[in-house]
A = this chain, B = another copy of it.
Amino acid sequence: MRWDALEEEPCSMARTIGVIGDRWTLLILRECFLRTRRFEGFQSALGITRHLLAERLKKLVRQGVLRRIPYQESPKRHEYILTQKGLDLYPIMMAIVHWGDTHMVDERGRPLLHQHRKCGKNFDPVMVCSECGEPLSAKEVHTHPGPGARSTPAIKAPEKPKAKARRSAA
């Protein structure tokens, strides 16, 4: 698979992975949500090489996730801030953090707590159905091809061994 073609795959997941699906990009975006805006800020917070950081920022700008806006003339300096498209990544970030909070914390507990301004409480993010409001789990969801599907997108036959009944569990 060519990574530069990932964005044309008939799969919203593949396309999104083409944009944010690597370690550094995800960490850069974490910093964005923590209000980091400038080159040096990202670099010192993450320890990423300057070369890669420059490249990743360029890519995120190209893809409309970040906007590069000048904050100073001569020497020209710019800040990187999240566009709406970038801000919309928030649920992904929260889902990632929440999984880590659930499955990857040590005995000392969570590194970071999240407080909801509206209700004032520390919360966990919960994913619910837009139609009925019930929490979602993998088993309750059925997928089927939409208008943008190609013949057989990524959904292969469910691996049935063709009923050839080779000697199983001999």
Contact = CB atoms under 8 A, between A and B. Distances in A.
Interface of A: 1, 3, 6-7, 10-17, 19-23, 26-27, 30-31, 33-38, 41, 44-48, 64, 70-74, 82, 85, 87-106, 108-119, 121-134, 136-150, 153-156, 158-159, 166-170
A94 B34 contact: no
A11 B111 contact: yes
B147 A131 contact: no
B19 A21 contact: no
Contacts of A119: 129, 131-132, 134
Nearest to A29: B13
A85 to B, nearest CB: 5
B14 A27 contact: yes
A111 B169 contact: no
Given A129-B125, A146-B112, A100 B12 contact: yes
Contacts of A113: 143-146
Given A23-B21, A72-B168, A123-B129, A147 B110 contact: yes
B125 A130 contact: yes
B44 A138 contact: no
Contact of A123 (B37, B114, B121, B131): B131
